[in-house]
Amino acid sequence: MIHINETVSPAVRRSAYIAPSDASQIGIVVKYDFLKYLRSKRLVGMLAIVSLVLLLITALPPLLGNSYADDANEFIGTYASFTSILIIIGATLFAGDAIVSEFQNRTGYLLFPKPVKRWVLLAGKFLASMGAMFLVLLLYYGVALLLDLAITGSFSVLGVESLLLAMLYAVAALSVGFLISSIMKGITGAQILTFALFLFIFTILTGVLTMGGVEPWFVVTYSGGTIGYITQDPYPTSGTATGGAPEGMAPGGLTSSYFPDVGVAIAVMAAYALISLVLAYYIFSRREMSA
Amino acid sequence: MSEVAIKATDLTKRFGDFTAVDHVSFEVNKGQIFGLLGPNGAGKSTAIRMLSTLSIPTEGSATVAGFDVQKEDGKVREHIGLVSEKMIMYDELTARENLTLFGKLYDIPRDALNKRIGKLLGFVRMEQWADHRIDTFSTGMKQRINVIRALVNQPEILFLDEPTLGLDPQSTAEIRELVRMINIEDRTTIILTTHMMTEADMLCDKIGIMDHGKIVALDTSAGLKRSISGNDTTLFEFEIANLDARILSSVKALASVSSVVQDDPTHIKVSSVGNDSFDTLVDVLRKNGAKIRTVKNLEPTLEDVFLHITGHEVRDEVAKAPTPAHRDGPPGMRPKKRVR
């Protein structure tokens, strides 16, 4: 007969195992959520999209008989102009269902009776999604900067600044995704709303405000436009757009007479990240498992 | 030191105008297997969710392992395990990874954790599947992992919410045996919810019958059965080949008979009082030409108890509203056909 409790001395009080530190638990949640990204092929899928984008941007110009930009910053600017859409896809995949899946899939029955605080779960999941997103961005920019160096012979410092802004924008986008995930009842709805909010709703809002003569400085996608604009030297000022992709749209989109101030954009993105995460925690901590 | 593992006092949960759990009170002693028995929608799972800190009570209070479920929910969670009726695991992870994840959320040393996981997998004969993804498992396999997952931290108190729901007979028997072993070996207090009367009868030291959010009866299995049969009452089942209305009437007319239920065209269950009740019944049946094929002396089942107390049968769908308790004899012995 197998004794299931041979590992514990009878002298040890039952339930002798208490919760480890919050930091330790965060690490555990990060590890296993990241593992889930890998196993569910989301991360692999995202890397495949990144690879495709890199391939298209790099291969198409010569195929069409065009030459690459000579200037290192202009070269990296082409790649930077597509970063926003990658971030939107990443936020949808890594954040859109992060919270709601525990309720819809009922895996909250596994996690929530454990001695793990809700903020610890949120922090662990958020850090895992950030890690996945940053991995994607680092790969994207890493390849782009290497190509830049190989083709133009120069290293673009503005390209690195673009990467840093992209990481901040990614944090903001993930945070909003987590907020949506904490509110919505279904995974599909949460992911669609996250995607639509960044790709359409914010963009439309920016466009309408711009046409109305109001600078949309408080719209996070407008701030995300700095990812592309920062590669332009000098940084564009209000007037005619010189290229790139305003407000995260693909090249060839609407021109704008407004260009986000970098300092203001950083503050706006940080504010979206902080406020969204705080609200996500507030809602998540009060949400109960239903039947 | 208190011997009470769980104490619920007027525990209530409302969702808008709907009261899912209505002022439920009970105590469970350490080392007991306590059953919450009742049909779907009775409030059993909602009660479990409150006790396991997944849901906040609207009114009332409860302590689990000596800690208040609202004020000391973190402490409660250090002492409990929960096996949900939903056989959920993280499908993308392997069995071992699922167990390790939940074990690491407690402060279990790595070596002890690995050893324990190995033992638990061996106990449910899943060692060879340890490194396979959960989404490749059958329902029975998932439930075995689901149960041992809740044991990784050796909880003092284990909540099992319909642990055998949807399982095949072999898996059901295995899970029930596992529940017994957990209780015997480690004196783990177990709270089991089920709508299967036989399961409650088989496993539980004490049973609370729930219906429409209330505990309508609370006692041992034997005590509950005695409450409807009475000490001097015996339940007989007759198989009568030529059963007809005349024979039925003759039986019902006996003063010692408290109720008659016809199960099908040839079977009747008769509850009668008195030491000579059997002889009296057989005499009347023979006098009326009944051809008795078989006779059984039945003990009331928990379903009889449920029927007696609530006035309706335990089904997934309640077919009709409860009827008044006393009609045609003692409650629970209803003069209608029942299909088991």
Tell me the per-residue pLDDT of B16-36, one tens digit each, with 9 for 90 and over.
999 999 999 999 999 999 999
Averaged pLDDT for residues A6-31: 69
Q: Are residues B36 and B100 in the same domain?
A: yes
Rounded mean pLDDT, A254-275: 89
pLDDT at B322 over 60: no
Q: Are residues B145 and B15 in the same domain?
A: yes
pLDDT of A232 over the 80 cut: yes
Domain match, B64 and B94 both: yes
Note whether B11 and B128 are same-domain residues: yes
**B88/A39 Cβ within 8 A:** no
Helices (H), A64-186: 72-80, 83-94, 100-104, 108-111, 118-152, 157-183
Other Cβ atoms closer than 10 A to B265: 10
Say whether both B59 and B142 belong to one domain: yes
How many secondary structure helices (H) and strands (E) does chain A include? 13, 0
Which chain A residue has the Cα nearest residue B81? A113
pLDDT at A200 over 90: yes
Please tell me the distance in Å from A106's CA to the nearest CA on chain B: 7
pLDDT (0 to 100) of residue A10: 40
The residue from B219, B252, B280 where one domain ends is: B219
pLDDT of B318 > 70? The answer is: no
Residue B287 corresponds to which tokens in the numbers above? 């006098």
- Looking at beta carbons, which residues of chain B come within 8 Å of A23? none
User: Is B102 within 8 Å of A108 when comparing Cβ atoms?
Assistant: no
Any CB–CB contact under 8 A between A45 and chain B?
Answer: no
Domain coverage including residue B230: 225-310
Domain end marker among B184, B219, B254 = B219
Q: Say if residue A245's pLDDT is above 80.
A: no
In this prediction, residue B182 carries a pLDDT of 87
B181–chain A Cβ distance below 8 A for any pair:
yes
Give me the pLDDT at residue B127, please: 93
Please report the residues numbered 84 through 103 in chain B whose beta carbons come closer than 8 angstroms to any beta carbon of chain A. 84, 86, 88-90, 92-93, 97, 101-102
**pLDDT (mean) for B215-240:** 83
Cβ pair A15:B149 closer than 8 A: no
* B91 domain-assigned: yes
Cβ-nearest to A115 among B56, B105, B108? B105
Same structural domain, B125 and B183: yes
Nearest CA in chain B to A2: B123
Same domain, B188 and B132: yes
A26-30, A186-190, B202-206, B322-326: segment of lowest average pLDDT: B322-326
Complete edge-to-edge strand list for the sheet that includes strand B18-29? B18-29, B4-15, B59-64, B67-68
* Average pLDDT over chain A, rounded to an integer: 88
- Is a pLDDT exceeding 70 seen at residue B43? yes
Each residue's pLDDT tens digit, A150-159: 999 999 999 9
What's the CATH code of the domain at B26?
3.40.50.300
Q: Which of A93-102, B99-108, B274-283, B322-331 has the lowest mean pLDDT?
A: B322-331
> Is residue B164 domain-resident?
yes
Percentage, residues of chain B above pLDDT 90: 49
Mean of the per-residue pLDDT values of chain B: 85
In a domain, B316, yes or no: no
Tens of pLDDT, residues B153-199:
889 999 999 888 878 888 888 888 888 988 998 889 999 998 888 88
pLDDT tens-digit readout, A96-121: 989 999 999 888 888 898 889 999 99
Cis peptide before A234 (omega within 30 of 0): yes
Which CATH number is B266's domain given? 3.30.70.100
pTM: 0.78
In this model, does residue A249 exceed pLDDT 70?
no
Task: Clarify whether residues B127 and B272 are in a common domain.
Answer: no
* The pLDDT of residue B173: 87
Q: How far apart are CA A127 and CA A149, in angstroms?
A: 31
Per-residue pLDDT, B84: 83
User: What's the average model confidence in pLDDT over B262-266?
Assistant: 88
Same domain, B54 and B123: yes
B185 near A CB under 8 A: yes
- Which of B84, B122, B156 has the CB atom closest to A109's CB atom? B84
The minimal CB distance from B185 to the residues A5, A28, A107 is found for A5
Contact with chain A for residue B77, Cβ under 8 A: yes
Residue B327 lies in a domain: no
- Provide the ipTM: 0.72
Is A3 part of the contact surface with chain B (CB cutoff 8 Å)? yes
Please indicate, yes or no, if residue B81 is contained in any of the structural domains: yes
Q: How many domains does chain B have?
A: 2
Which of B160, B185, B219 delimits the end of a domain? B219
Residue B27 lies inside a defined structural domain of this protein = yes
Which has the closest alpha carbon to B210: B22, B10, B83?
B22
Task: Say if residue B332's pLDDT is above 60.
Answer: no
Angle between helices A262-286 and A118-152 (to 10 degrees): 150
> Nearest residue of A to residue B52 by CA position?
A113
Would you say residue B337 lies in a domain? no
Q: Do A19 and B74 touch (CB under 8 A)?
A: yes
Whether residues B33 and B175 fall in one domain: yes
Residue B123, domain member (yes or no): yes
Q: With helix as H, strand as E and coil as C, how does chain B read?
A: CCCEEEEEEEEEEEECCEEEEEEEEEEEECCCEEEEECCCCCCHHHHHHHHCCCCCCCEEEEEECCEECCCCHHHHHHCEEEECCCCCCCCCCEHHHHHHHHHHCCCCCHHHHHHHHHHHHHHCCCHHHCCCEHHHCCHHHHHHHHHHHCCCCCCCEEEEECCCCCCCHHHHHHHHHHHHHHHHHHCCEEEEEECCHHHHHHHCCEEEEEECCEEEEEECHHHHHHHHHCCCEEEEEEEECCCCHHHHHHHHCCCCEEEEEEEECCEEEEEEECCCHHHHHHHHHHHCCCCEEEEEEECCCHHHHHHHHHCCCCCCCCCCCCCCCCCCCCCCCCCCCCCC
| A14:B86 CB<8 A | no
The pLDDT of residue A41: 85
